[in-house]
Structure 1
């Protein structure tokens, strides 16, 4: 277990002077707390004595409305962007969202002993991050981005958890708009950073893959030591143009860190990891060729901060996948693969290849992919066409608003009969139960995947309950 997953360890306290210095705010009144501040938080429900409550403002909410409530809970300090009529000491800043960034950056700057890795990409970020967490936390206390705390609020929140004993930090940076990675990478100040790949996640926001590449390439402006680049990506040339460090390390086919002698097994993989430091065999406890790519990326990041090849291999072999990322669950005589955490077009196709390696009748259950903008119907059409063409898949059950578009794509091939489309989970469930009944007693493997908002884990749980 990474040290990052346990927030029970006491956070480093803040003095009143440090808070003001970091945020450049002014004190509204003289009722400053005598003691140090134990933690800074943005969720009013958990605020208590010893905390500073930072009131964020969003499009649909304003946490300034909860300042009086946190005062009643014993909280003695609020960080606000406009004074509030409440009996509590207030540090008034220009913008609380930016103040959170300033506080995260201040905390990061206090930890000169820290080696920081930052990574971004369209797919595989979380798995690569978990692999790096496994490599580094074997060696020393490591802070690893939790869950999806990878945006302009999540990244500084993670930095606030830095403690004196941390030797490494692995920060995942996400982009939902231009300028976001420029902002978060500047807070993180990584020694080593890079892009894993340029896919199709958030196509809608960026108006195409060129825009995605530009947004993610912002990470290269903030690296102090080594830039990591994907050698085999079709944007590899464009990515290299964004690099500004002297030292560059590439991974993937044609790169300096790459896999050879690949053997894909149903729930794992074997390969030889080739690096400038030599080559070593790896037994990877993850399925699918895309996870070998993630492992070579993790190896490149780790090598760049001076980790030995032996330690990298040991860490990769002990790595555990994040929840909802290709987790294999044996339920009675059925295999369920829970890949419901999220989806994009690239990872959906990769998941189909993993399912094709499994025993028995293979059923892929897909939810919609979000954030594709005006390209959504066409992209789902292409996805439907591609999924039914994967050798080894027996059935594809598409669920959601764009399921009919996926089915049209499937019907443009000779394998159209493999796909069934349903507008919602309630309609899909009876069909899945029927599939099981008609194929008894043959072994069956199911893989569930969709974008986060589709909650495909709900359908998976409902089916398991009926068995």
Structure 2
């Protein structure tokens, strides 16, 4: 079957499924492979559960006319996404960066959906499978699609950019994330800038944070750029009013009181404001969209429980986001503060140094009550309490409960520190 015929079939059956446990009626099932599974083995099950067709890549599993054989199911999914992207009339905004991608994407979608029919990446499905699925979620009436792109090594953003073929792009920041895969901070900058390489070489528009020196340097002579700044009048001016604990910003004399905590979320809000302005969303709608956005999925959530004010930021962590969260927690007004910090992953040979620097920063900041959890934090030189495992922390907190305090919980996803809530 040719790609155009597969696309015609997709238009008749626009639901895509890659997991036989989540088959929907009349969907197209793509038999993808992973390290520990072969999707071809589940093609019959998918058809029995109601899938219209199954795309397989092993002849032995072409058991009926409803099984369509291609050389590579994943590559076919990606090519179908590119075909559909070019078939669609929607404008596409691509988004990447070290920190804040998902929150920024959700804020942009909240703002733009006030005026346009939009689709956006669901959750953080931002890899070589999730990005094609996002493109294939574009409907006939979709006007703008916001596509999040993640990466942990060189070449990945370039590959995804060629699939997405964005009309606009934005990089949230360049931080100390996935250092192991990228090969250090310079590698992160190079890897994330692959989005700029695509946009500039194809004469597309670039959104930027004009207060970020790296972004300014990268885009210095580029004409098609739209930016925000706290002070540079060449760009759209947005002011930070306060972050205690929630971010309050001001644009054109209008204050916007968000439900987001931390100065690091200011630029995320600014990106959404800037894009709203560019796409002519009324200012009152921009304000309403950002003020009504409530973070979830363990991202900078503020939870009040049993006399505690908890900032739960346990979705992920790297040295840049960890330090930003600590900087914000320093200015929170509270009589008693506690920190529960978990290991940061994917730092490679920098792991020992980066964890030591976080411990040193906590000491220099005068935080009295700091609990460090994980094998990496267990190696640092510090007077703070250290726990090699979550269970050891759990046992300690059960005997020494935290009462009437402000508490920051932050760590990498693999640490699953949201479990602390059950102990508290």
Fold match by TM threshold 0.5: yes
1:280 Cα deviation (Å)?
3.5
Residue 214 (structure 2) aligns with: 235
Residue 423 (structure 2) aligns with: 463
255, 271, 275: which is aligned to 1:297? 271
Q: Given the two structures, how large is their TM-score scaled by the length of structure 1?
A: 0.82
Query: Within 1, Cα distance between the matches of 2:412 and 2:324?
Result: 15
1:93 aligns with 2:70: yes
Residue 371 (structure 1) aligns with: 346
1:432 Cα deviation (Å)?
2.7
1:281 aligns with 2:255: yes
Residue 5 (structure 1) aligns with: none
Structure-2 change in CA distance of 1:17 and 1:287 (3 Å): same
1:218 Cα deviation (Å)?
1.4
387, 406, 428: which is aligned to 2:393? 428
User: Counterpart of 2:219 in 1: which secondary structure?
Assistant: helix
User: Counterpart of 1:270 in 2: which secondary structure?
Assistant: strand
Query: Within 1, Cα distance between the matches of 2:54 and 2:409?
Result: 43
1:76 Cα deviation (Å)?
4.6
User: Counterpart of 1:429 in 2: which secondary structure?
Assistant: helix
Residue 216 (structure 1) aligns with: 192
| Superposition pairs of residues 27-426 of structure 1, within 5 angstroms | 36-47=12-23, 50-89=26-65, 90-112=67-89, 114-223=90-199, 225-240=204-219, 246-253=223-230, 255=232, 256-260=235-239, 262-266=241-245, 268-273=246-251, 278=252, 280-356=254-330, 357-391=332-366, 393-405=367-379, 407-408=380-381, 411=382, 417=383, 419-426=384-391
List alignment gaps of at least 5 residues for structure 2. Answer: none
Number of matched residues? 416
Query: Within 2, Cα distance between the matches of 1:261 and 1:67?
Result: 53
1:95 Cα deviation (Å)?
2.1
Contact map agreement 2:230 2:240 (CA 8 A) in 1? no
Query: Within 2, Cα distance between the matches of 1:48 and 1:229?
Result: 39
Query: Within 2, Cα distance between the matches of 1:39 and 1:164?
Result: 14
Contact map agreement 2:260 2:301 (CA 8 A) in 1? no
List alignment gaps of at least 5 residues for structure 1. Answer: 1-15, 24-32, 412-416
Two-structure CA RMSD over aligned residues (Å): 2.6
Structure-2 change in CA distance of 1:321 and 1:74 (3 Å): closer
User: Counterpart of 2:401 in 1: which secondary structure?
Assistant: helix
Query: Within 2, Cα distance between the matches of 1:461 and 1:265?
Result: 22
Query: Within 2, Cα distance between the matches of 1:158 and 1:361?
Result: 44
Query: Within 1, Cα distance between the matches of 2:423 and 2:398?
Result: 7
1:455 Cα deviation (Å)?
0.7
Structure-2 change in CA distance of 1:320 and 1:19 (3 Å): farther
1:227-257 CA distance string (max 9 Å, x none): 122333352355327x8x6311233455523
Structure-2 change in CA distance of 1:258 and 1:287 (3 Å): farther
1:382-441 CA distance string (max 9 Å, x none): 1111123235x3311110111123x41xx3xxxxx4x2110001111233344436xx5x
